[in-house]
Amino acid sequence: MIPLSWYLIFAAALFSIGLFGVLARKNAIAILMGIELMLNSVNINLVAFWRYLSPEMITGQVFAIIVFAVAAAEVAVGLALIISVYRRKSTIVAEDIDMLKF
Amino acid sequence: MTPLQIIFLLVAAISLGGAVMVVTRQNLVHAALWLILVLFGVAVTFVLLNAGFLAMAQVVIYIGAIAILMIFTIMLTRKVAKDTDEQLNSNWWGAGIISLLLFGGVILMLFQWQNFQFNLPNLNPSVDPLLQLGEGLVSPNAFLLPFEIASVLLVAALIGAIMVARERK
């Protein structure tokens, strides 16, 4: 029997590692990878809460599926933006992408 | 220790180790391959939570589509992102402190919550969660509208991605 707490601690650790990747990485694609880690930890939490607290309702799984769809949309647009910036500025380092700086 | 607990601890350890590799590797293609390992670990976690459909969707959507798309983009932009360059920015220690603080804060909050040591309730054997999920996604009384909105969002995002990445003449 796995207690709920194990899943929550696992998800919290995965989220923190993903946050570190988002904040510390230079490369824009690596930042997107960190965001993927964070979204995955959120999904673990949603499914764990569904299984432990309200297994008779399916809401948790539906929420996880919508997170899947949003993650796919986010990666598609993010990578398209990175390709577009790469064409114009020949860089994908997040610090150097400062066209919107006032 | 039951076998399920041992499996969970193994999967969690491998996933967390892989996640650390994802955020620290110099070579981005290696980082993407570690990311695939982490995504597999999360899929195994879904199986342990009786969410077989989500585990399948995790493998198909995350590993089959998102991770491969990332590897393509890494290879397309490899000319500017040399593996020998420094991959962490100058504020990486601040990022580490923030992540550790967040982790510590979340754990502290969790230990004050009385449901924290909640044990597993049995699934009602007469209800199939997969059947329930499928009916929930197409039933107007349940989640038809959010599901359709997610579909429209996905179509809009993909068309937008094509427009953004298109080469202008």
Token pair in block for residue B78? 């490899």
Reported confidence tier of residue A14, pLDDT bands at 50, 70, 90: very high
**Mean pLDDT of the region A10-32:** 93
**Per-residue pLDDT, B125:** 73
* A81 interaction partners in chain B (CB closer than 8 Å): 164
Cβ-based neighbour number of residue B139 at 10 Å: 11
Distance CA A58, CA B143 (A): 10
Cβ-defined contact of B19 to A48 (cutoff 8 Å): no
- Percentage, residues of chain A above pLDDT 90: 58
Most A CBs within 10 A among B8, B66, B115, hence the mutation to make, goes to: B66
CA B141 to chain CA centroid, nearest Å? 29
* A73 interaction partners in chain B (CB closer than 8 Å): 153-154, 156-158
Reported confidence tier of residue A94, pLDDT bands at 50, 70, 90: confident
Tell me which of 2.70.210.12, 1.10.287.3510, 3.40.50.1100, 3.40.50.720 is the CATH number of domain A4-96.
1.10.287.3510
Cβ-defined contact of A80 to B160 (cutoff 8 Å): yes
Cβ-defined contact of B48 to A2 (cutoff 8 Å): yes
Q: B23: distance to nearest CA of chain A, Å?
A: 5
Token pair in block for residue A95? 């610090």
For chain A, count helices (H), then strands (E).
3, 0
* A8 interaction partners in chain B (CB closer than 8 Å): 110, 116
Q: What is the mean pLDDT of chain A?
A: 90
Question: CA dist A10 to A7, A48, A82, B76, B77, Å?
Answer: 5, 11, 31, 34, 33
SS3 A25: strand
Closest residue to A47, CB basis, from B38, B54, B146: B54
**Per-residue pLDDT, A13:** 95
- CB contact B80 to A (< 8 Å): yes
pLDDT at A19 over 80: yes
> Which positions 100-119 of B are in contact with A (Cβ < 8 Å)?
100, 102-103, 106-107, 110, 115-119
CA B31 to chain CA centroid, nearest Å? 15
Amino acid A68 reads: F
**Per-residue pLDDT, B92:** 86
Closest residue to B158, CB basis, from A30, A76, A95: A76
Contacts of B46 (CB under 8 A, 6+ apart): A43, A44, A47, B52, B54, B55, B58
Cβ-defined contact of A33 to B46 (cutoff 8 Å): no
CATH 1.20.120.1200 fits B1-81, yes or no: yes
Cβ-based neighbour number of residue B49 at 10 Å: 24
Per-residue pLDDT of chain B (169 residues; tens, 9 = 90+): 788 899 999 999 999 999 999 998 888 899 999 999 999 999 999 999 988 899 999 999 999 999 999 999 999 887 766 666 677 878 888 999 999 999 999 999 888 887 666 677 777 777 788 888 888 888 888 889 999 999 999 999 999 999 988 877 6
Q: What DSSP state is assigned to residue B72?
A: H
Token pair in block for residue A3? 């207690």
Distance CA B161, CA A79 (A): 8
Instruction: Please give the span between the terminal C-alpha atoms of chain B, in angstroms, as a whole number.
Output: 64
Token pair in block for residue A17? 């590692």
Most B CBs within 10 A among A62, A96, A97, hence the mutation to make, goes to: A62
CA-nearest of B159, B160, B92 to A27 is B92
* B120 interaction partners in chain A (CB closer than 8 Å): 1-4, 51-52
Q: B33: distance to nearest CA of chain A, Å?
A: 11
**Residue ranges covered by each domain of chain B:** 1-81, 132-169
